[in-house]
Amino acid sequence: MLDRSKIPSSLAVHRVWVPERDSDRRRPVAYVGDRRRRTIGVILIALGVVAALGVQLTRAAFWLAFVPLLVAWAGAAYAGGGRTGFYEVDDDGGLGEYLGRSKPDFSSMRAVK
């Protein structure tokens, strides 16, 4: 299974999927997120929301509301970048091959925390 001591402290494991049957030869899969990027992304999204409320309260021009939207969108894109994604778990418990950011096929696998 996953050995958290072999994972860099800058990464956070959110979920692990393991095969349902012991006879299944598939490796477990872990979803990993980059802590620093996620924190900065959340700050940018919050800044975008506050700026959008400021535009609304000051009754500024309508087109000005797109600037906070772009800031929040950039924050979401930044938070999901970096080393965030799905990884196979090696036999020694460390992170193995990077599978990408899109969800792989989890048929015949169950999620564990």
Which letter, b or e, does each residue of 34-63 get, where b requires 16 or more Cβ atoms within 10 Å of its Cβ? beebbeebeebbeebeebbeebeeeeeeee
Token duo for residue 109: 């696998």
What confidence tens digit (pLDDT) does each residue in 13-66 have? Answer: 889 998 888 777 888 999 999 999 999 999 999 999 999 999 889 888 878 889
Average pLDDT over every residue of 99-105: 90
What average pLDDT does the segment 95-107 reach?
Answer: 89
Domain ranges of the chain: 4-112
Structure confidence at residue 25 (pLDDT)? 83
Q: Would you say 88 and 28 are in contact if contact means Cβ atoms under 8 Å apart?
A: yes
